[in-house]
Amino acid sequence: MSRYRGPRLRIVRRLGDLPGLTRKNAKRAYPPGQHGQTRKKRSEYAIRLEEKQKLRFNYGLSERQMLRYVLKARRTTGSTGQILLELLEMRLDNTVFRMGMAPTIPGARQLVNHGHITVNGRTVNVPSYNCRPGDTIAVRDREKSRKLVEANLQSPGLAHLPSHLEFDKDKFTGKVNGKIEREWVALQVNELLVVEYYSRQV
């Protein structure tokens, strides 16, 4: 299954608030579709699937990418759920979004894809690039790149900068000081249910 490119509010109505996907708020509080307003008991599988879909749609991943991150988290020592969130949060497109340089993660991905962002002085156009503590993330020294980011900084997607990041709005330069702590993850998700979902898949 490839990356989702359809109506974003439809996903928000189904899964709840996804700060990385869109800044819009749904006018209707119930899921989309003919049976959206009918109450039905969800199975345990449906609950786990929904939590997994929250991660997928919020961070803009394909199913194959998601599975790859889960397998990588499993191989790393520590809590699989916590490590999975760390891996997703340390992606370059998400880091650019959390620094306020883009209103959403898809917007940040576009900035990265079009070569507007540098990491440690070198242009990186791979949104899935894994940022590490000590990395310097900056806007490319071009008028076009600076104007784009300057406009986005007027209304960032999230109000608060996570504790592991710093960003200088005057120099358009940020730094990754460490790994994100669980309480700074903006998405409301139960990562343990996601791990349980994949434990039955692979």
Using DSSP's 3-state secondary structure scheme, residue 10 falls into: helix
- Reply yes or no on whether the pLDDT at 36 is more than 60: no
What pTM was estimated for this model as a whole? 0.85
Which of 143, 146, 136 has its CA nearest to residue 177? Answer: 136
Share of the chain above pLDDT 90, in %: 46
Q: Which fold has domain 8-87+186-199?
A: Ribosomal Protein S4 Delta 41; Chain A, domain 1 (1.10.1050)
Q: Does 3.30.505.10 match the CATH number of domain 91-178?
A: no
Token readout for 137 is 């993330």
pLDDT confidence of residue 34 = 46
- Reply yes or no on whether the pLDDT at 127 is more than 80: yes
- Residue intervals in the chain for CATH 1.10.1050.10: 8-87+186-199
CA-to-CA distance for 100 and 47, rounded, in angstroms?
A: 32
- Residue intervals in the chain for CATH 3.10.290.10: 91-178
- Reply yes or no on whether the pLDDT at 35 is more than 70: no
pLDDT confidence of residue 193 = 92
Share of the chain above pLDDT 70, in %: 82
What does the pLDDT look like over 68-115, one tens digit per residue?
Answer: 999 999 999 889 999 999 999 999 999 999 998 988 888 899 999 999
- Furthest C-alpha separation in the chain: 54
